[in-house]
Amino acid sequence: MRVGIQNKPLQTVGWETGKVRLIDQTALPEKLQYLDFSDWREVAEAIRTMIVRGAPAIGCAAALGIALGSRGIIASGREAFLGRVTGIADTFRAARPTAVNLFWAIDRMIAVAENTPGNPVDMKDALLTEALKMLDEDIAANKRLGDFGAELLPDAVNILTHCNAGALATVGYGTALGVVRSAVEMGKNVHVYADETRPRLQGMKLTAWELARDDIPVTVIADNMAGSLMRQGKVDCVIVGADRIASNGDAANKIGTYTVAVLAKHHGIPFYVAAPLSTIDQSLISGAQIPIEQRESIEMTHIEGIRVAPEGVAVINPAFDVTPAELITGIITESGVLRAPYEEAILEALGVARGATGMGARSMSIAGR
């Protein structure tokens, strides 16, 4: 029997009366605030400034932003229209470099524009239809992913997660927290340890807020507490999200994830990555090729606008690190749980996803590796 979560589900990205609607994640946890954007440039800036964050969420936000921008294009011919759409897409490409879902969504939108017959009016309608389709697909994929992941968990479990891979990082439901939500709905007794996730504190501000809102037991810990809790036997598994996964299974996620993975390996604790198949970048042989976003030093030197570091001190502030595939117990996707050797499992999973039939039966074979 599934148990329903009582609060109204969050929708991070949406389309309302001709505008892109986003939850302002910079306002959380103090208030839940929705922002409506009528200018596509503002949507791109919202991605860059992390008003919206999380790989699946920014991909869908970009898709809606492109659809929004296309509606303001005045062009009589197809080629002129395509040129303008491509220019809008290039602005979104430059917003953030690591999350491959952003580029996946942009490429998908450009393909729709190129392959839609008719005049620019038809193309505009097709772009909006495709972007809205992505929103529905994201939630459905997260729920399938969540169910696959929940089946891995015992009836009572303490889960450690890092950063935010919840509804706020997706259109809704979540990846790592999608597994948590599915487990709760299955009646399992779940408790989550949420790393604070320096320097922007997404674990404390966003993950803890989401879970508390849904009455799911959560305890915030400092980033440097994880190893101690593992040694005490208080962590049963780790589940994190990902912003890009290479074809060999190496996974980029928020800075600090690699440290957690090493600790989990040392203590014999399963370490799972939960991500939709759109997060896999087959063009990359390994995680060494994943571009790592370098962010402003003020994120490190200041907390809530207050300087905590000496004036002029040097700072390194990468937003992500890469966890090698050999540290990952399984990659939880909407097609099942992928196991090593990841090159084979990823190829099979992507083949399943491209097929119109047989997903359920074959996904179980992937999960059973």
Prior bond to 341 cis, omega within 30? Answer: yes
Residue 49 lies inside a defined structural domain of this protein: yes
Instruction: Find the mean pLDDT for residues 294-316.
Output: 94
Sort strands 306-307 and 302-303 into parallel, antiparallel or unpaired: antiparallel
CA 307 to chain centre: 30
pLDDT digits (tens, 9 = 90+) for 156-214: 999 999 999 999 999 999 999 999 999 999 999 999 999 999 999 999 999 999 999 99
Give the pLDDT band (50/70/90) at residue 9.
confident
Q: Is 215 annotated in the active site?
A: no
Indicate if the pLDDT at residue 3 is higher than 70: no
Do 193 and 106 fall into the same domain? no
pLDDT of residue 363: 34
Same domain for 304 and 174, yes or no, is yes
Mean of pLDDT over the chain = 93
Q: Are residues 257 and 159 in the same domain?
A: yes
The answer to whether position 26 is within a domain reads yes
Residue 89 shares a structural domain with residue 184: no
CATH number at residue 192: 3.40.50.10470
Tens-digit pLDDT profile for residues 26-70: 999 999 999 999 999 999 999 999 999 999 999 999 999 999 999
Domain end position, chosen among 138, 170, 200: 138
Q: Are residues 36 and 157 in the same domain?
A: no
Catalytic residue, candidates 147, 214, 243, 321: 243
Domain co-membership, 54 together with 123: yes
- Measured distance between the N- and C-terminal CA atoms of the chain, rounded to whole angstroms: 27
CATH code for the domain of 23: 1.20.120.420
Number of domains in the chain: 2
Last residue of a domain, one of 86, 113, 138: 138
134 and 148 share a domain? no
Tokens of residue 314, six digits: 């040097």
Please give the angle made by the CA atoms of 33, 38 and 41, to the nearest 5 degrees: 100
Distance between CA atoms of 260 and 271, rounded to whole angstroms?
A: 9
Flag whether 175 is in a domain: yes
Q: Is residue 193 part of a domain?
A: yes
Same domain, 121 and 197: no
339 and 191 in one domain? Answer: yes
Tell which of 113, 138, 163 closes a domain: 138
Strand runs labelled E in the chain:
13-16, 19-23, 34-37, 156-161, 189-195, 218-221, 237-240, 244-246, 251-254, 271-274, 280-281, 302-303, 306-307, 320-323, 330-333, 336-338
Tell me: do 278 and 349 sit in the same domain: yes
6 within domain boundaries: no
- Single-letter residue type at 91: T
Confidence of residue 359 (pLDDT cuts 50, 70, 90): very low
Q: List the domain range (segments joined by +) for residue 352.
A: 141-367
Give CA torsion, residues 362, 366, 367, 368, to 10 deg: 100
The 3-state DSSP class for residue 85 equals helix
Among candidates 279, 247, 259, which has minimal Cα distance to 322? 259
Whether 69 is in a domain gets the answer yes
Q: Same domain for 33 and 167?
A: no
Which pLDDT band, with edges at 50, 70 and 90, does 360 fall under? very low
Is 160 contained in some domain?
A: yes
Both 120 and 203 in one domain: the answer is: no
